């Protein structure tokens, strides 16, 4: 920029700049209009340059904004992973703390039991007896000697399927069993509860249920093949239930083992050697106890290594360690030491499963497409949980597809929106199918679940499709084009062996029927309105161009021989009503054939028949009522055009589009065949 331009810029940027004084001074100094024009041009150039600089800065800031947004997204992902790792570390530390505390509790309880063994047992038995007196149907529970109460309290039972509350229960934990009693609505004396179920401690497993507000403070009791879910009053009581149940189960296992060990020396078969082969078989398990070598360092450190792998999100390493252990113990007998190792490992497997399930939950980021789930799915399958992996994978993809459809902007042009909708949905469905086939190649039992999911996804697609196409009352031609686009995209799925065309058609049939019926009513009303104003005069198109255009339209509709009804001038030897009806009816036929599938055969056929009947009946009525011979001959010419030219084209085009003849249309044409008549006669049809 020149020196003058720089001075002008500095002047305009000055904080003390006053436009009125500047213009006044400029007017006084200028020699005329030319100076003002030159100065105006300088200011305009400066404004253009400023606008260009502003635009460059906007573009530059916009690029920086996009880059910053990407960095924020990456940082968010890293922070999420860091938070997850910290959560896992916290849970590991809590489990270690609980283990140390439970050890201290065991030692304290042993000391108390050694100090007051008899009084404690008698007190617990008296307490249990007094409580069981309040349970209807629980008198026989105390028949087992040595049974005493460990813990009891109120819980709320929930339905496993829909997580709705069922009933309030009172639970009695004894040293060898668990009693569940329901509250009586109508209490009778001291009886408050009714016997519901009694479970041996060895017949069920206790599983913590992760809090998911408002569902919290819950735990599950698994009894093959059933399960029950209970909710405690608060987290403290839930923690007490879990700890005491675990301690009681362990105490029973330890007591039973000590009982068996005490009984073994009293067996007479071990007093002296014997040649009885049955006694040798009985001795083998005892020798087998020492035959499993669990001394390798990798086995001793396996639980801790699994904790580290889970905390570091090394899922493949965790499953590799589990496979290595299973391979090592495959041919080995199940001894007590092996059982204890299995218990430790099973707890880690449960934690690993929970982490993998969370990885596949819809709450996680859906970016990356179906391939992003491959890691978690493959490890769940290796853990033998292919059914759960299949369910979570399909649920994740359903949410992803639903989110993609919801984020799609609704354009002004319906056809453009449908193109985008079909492209997004069917591409996602195709990618999901390919990924499913790759992940579950060895689990053919899961394929039926994918087919069911595909139908559910198609239902979601049709809802969005119908809302935009049919609920917005689009024209039949637009609806036909949209349905055609959906069918073409649906055909792409056949390349992977998945044909959902029938599903798409069955979901759309109701809306298409309504659209055809609505358009049929519109055509019939329009035809009746034109018929009411019919004067039976020849058409005058005024210009040769209009006549040429009409000929092209008739030719595109498939109406041959239309030239015989036109002359060299701009006149057409047909009435406006018949020509308009022909164009509208042929358009309806073409759009109906685009929408056609077998379920719509009779709907389309009846619509065509009703439309044709309105026109034919009007012509017949006019022939019978008209007295003027010239007009009567003209009406007869229009009737001949309808019968000999239009109706055969409709029949032929319908048969080509459907693949079979339309007998109803043939019968209609035969029943309305016009005859050559005397102009003075009042008979028009046979």
* Per-residue pLDDT reduced to its tens digit, 461-499: 888 888 888 887 778 888 888 888 888 888 888 887 888
What's the whole-number average pLDDT of the chain?
A: 79
Query: How many residues are there in the chain?
Result: 686
Indicate if the pLDDT at residue 429 is higher than 80. yes
What is the mean pLDDT of the segment spanning 155-176? 87
What is the mean pLDDT of the segment spanning 657-673? 77
What is the mean pLDDT of the segment spanning 544-548? 85
Residue 674: which pLDDT band, with cuts at 50, 70 and 90? Answer: low
What is the mean pLDDT of the segment spanning 355-384? 76
Please list the residues that pair with 167 across neighbouring strands: 157
Indicate if the pLDDT at residue 683 is higher than 60. no
Indicate if the pLDDT at residue 509 is higher than 80. yes
**CATH architecture entry for 509-672:** Orthogonal Bundle (1.10)
Residue 539: which pLDDT band, with cuts at 50, 70 and 90? Answer: confident
User: What Cα–Cα distance (Å) separates residue 248 from each residue in 110, 203, 258, 312?
Assistant: 13, 13, 15, 33
* Per-residue pLDDT reduced to its tens digit, 194-226: 888 888 888 888 888 878 777 788 888 887 667
**CATH architecture entry for 297-493:** Up-down Bundle (1.20)
Looking at per-residue pLDDT, the higher value among 2 and 293 belongs to: 293
User: How far, in whole angstroms, is CA 636 from its chain's centroid?
Assistant: 61
What is the mean pLDDT of the segment spanning 506-513? 86
Among 11-25, 284-298, 640-654, the minimum mean pLDDT is found in: 284-298
Indicate if the pLDDT at residue 266 is higher than 60. no
Residue 267: which pLDDT band, with cuts at 50, 70 and 90? Answer: very low
* Per-residue pLDDT reduced to its tens digit, 409-422: 776 688 888 888 88
User: What Cα–Cα distance (Å) separates residue 549 from each residue in 39, 346, 539, 543, 567?
Assistant: 59, 81, 14, 10, 14
CA distance 605 to 653: 12
Angle at 192 between CA 190 and CA 195, to 5 degrees: 120
What is the mean pLDDT of the segment spanning 102-129? 58
What is the mean pLDDT of the segment spanning 449-456? 87
- What pTM did the predictor assign? 0.50
What is the mean pLDDT of the segment spanning 250-272? 64
134-257 maps to CATH 2.30.29.30: yes
CB atoms within 10 A of CB 527: 20
> Crossing angle of helices 315-329/336-359, nearest 10°?
150
Residue 434: which pLDDT band, with cuts at 50, 70 and 90? Answer: confident
pLDDT attached to residue 394: 86
pLDDT attached to residue 278: 39
pLDDT attached to residue 291: 64
């Amino acid at each position: 920029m020149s020196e003058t331009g720089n001075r002008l810029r500095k002047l305009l940027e000055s904080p003390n700049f006053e436009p009125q004084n500047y213009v006044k001074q400029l007017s006084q100094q200028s020699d005329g209009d030319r100076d003002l024009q030159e100065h105006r041009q300088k200011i305009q150039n400066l404004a253009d340059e400023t606008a260009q600089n502003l635009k460059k800065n906007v573009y530059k800031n916009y690029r920086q904004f996009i880059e910053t947004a990407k960095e924020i997204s990456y940082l968010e992902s890293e922070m999420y992973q860091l938070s997850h790792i910290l959560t896992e570390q916290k849970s590991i530390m809590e489990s270690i703390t609980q283990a140390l505390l439970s050890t201290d509790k065991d030692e304290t309880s042993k000391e108390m039991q050694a100090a007051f063994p008899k009084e404690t047992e008698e007190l617990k038995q008296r307490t249990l007896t007094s409580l069981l007196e309040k349970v209807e149907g629980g008198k026989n529970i105390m028949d087992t000697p040595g049974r005493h109460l460990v813990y009891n309290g109120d819980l709320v039972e929930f339905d496993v399927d829909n997580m709705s509350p069922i009933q309030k229960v009172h639970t009695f934990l004894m040293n060898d069993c668990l009693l569940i009693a329901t509250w009586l609505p109508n209490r009778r004396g001291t009886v408050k509860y009714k016997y519901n179920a009694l479970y041996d401690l060895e017949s069920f497993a206790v599983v913590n249920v992760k809090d998911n507000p408002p569902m919290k403070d819950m735990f599950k009791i698994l009894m093959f093949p059933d399960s029950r879910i209970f909710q405690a009053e608060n987290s403290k009581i839930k923690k007490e239930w879990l700890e005491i149940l675990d301690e009681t189960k362990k105490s029973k296992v330890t007591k039973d083992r000590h009982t068996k060990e005490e009984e073994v020396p009293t067996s007479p078969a071990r007093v002296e050697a014997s040649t009885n082969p049955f006694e040798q078989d009985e001795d083998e398990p005892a020798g087998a106890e020492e035959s499993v070598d669990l001394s390798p360092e990798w086995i001793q450190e396996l639980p801790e290594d699994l904790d580290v792998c889970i905390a570091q999100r090394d899922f493949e390493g965790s499953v590799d360690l589990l496979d290595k252990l299973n391979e090592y113990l495959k041919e080995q007998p199940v001894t007590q030491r092996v059982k204890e190792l299995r218990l430790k490992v099973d707890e880690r497997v449960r934690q690993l499963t929970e982490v993998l399930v969370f990885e596949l939950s819809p709450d996680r980021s859906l970016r990356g497409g179906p391939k992003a789930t491959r890691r978690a799915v493959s490890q769940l399958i290796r853990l033998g949980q292919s059914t759960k992996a299949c369910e979570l994978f399909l649920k994740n993809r359903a949410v992803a597809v639903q989110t993609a459809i919801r984020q799609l902007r609704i354009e002004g042009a319906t056809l453009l929106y449908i193109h985008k909708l079909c492209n997004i949905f069917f591409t996602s469905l195709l990618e999901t199918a390919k990924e499913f086939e790759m992940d579950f190649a060895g689990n053919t039992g899961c394929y039926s679940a994918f087919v069911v999911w595909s139908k559910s996804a198609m239902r979601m697609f049709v809802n969005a499709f119908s809302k935009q196409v049919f609920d917005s009352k689009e024209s039949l031609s637009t609806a036909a084009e949209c349905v055609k686009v959906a069918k073409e995209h649906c055909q792409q799925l056949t390349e992977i062996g998945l044909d959902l065309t029938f599903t798409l058609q069955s979901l759309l049939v109701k809306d298409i029927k309504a659209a055809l019926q609505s358009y049929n009513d519109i055509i019939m009303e329009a035809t009746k309105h034109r018929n009411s104003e019919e004067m039976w005069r020849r058409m005058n198109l005024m210009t040769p161009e209009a006549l040429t255009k009409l000929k092209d339209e008739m030719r595109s509709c498939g109406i041959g021989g239309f030239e015989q009804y036109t002359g060299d001038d701009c006149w057409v030897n047909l009435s406006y009503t018949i020509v308009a009806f022909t164009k509208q009816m042929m358009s309806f036929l073409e759009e109906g054939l685009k929408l056609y599938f077998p379920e719509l055969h009779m709907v389309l056929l009846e619509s065509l028949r009703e439309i044709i009947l309105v026109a034919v009946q009007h012509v017949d009525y006019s022939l019978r009522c008209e007295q003027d011979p010239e007009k009567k001959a003209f009406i007869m010419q229009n009737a001949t055009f309808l019968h000999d030219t239009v109706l055969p084209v409709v029949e032929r085009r319908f048969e080509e589009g459907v693949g079979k003849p339309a007998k109803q249309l043939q019968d209609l044409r035969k029943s309305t065949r016009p005859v050559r008549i005397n102009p003075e006669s009042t008979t028009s049809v046979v």
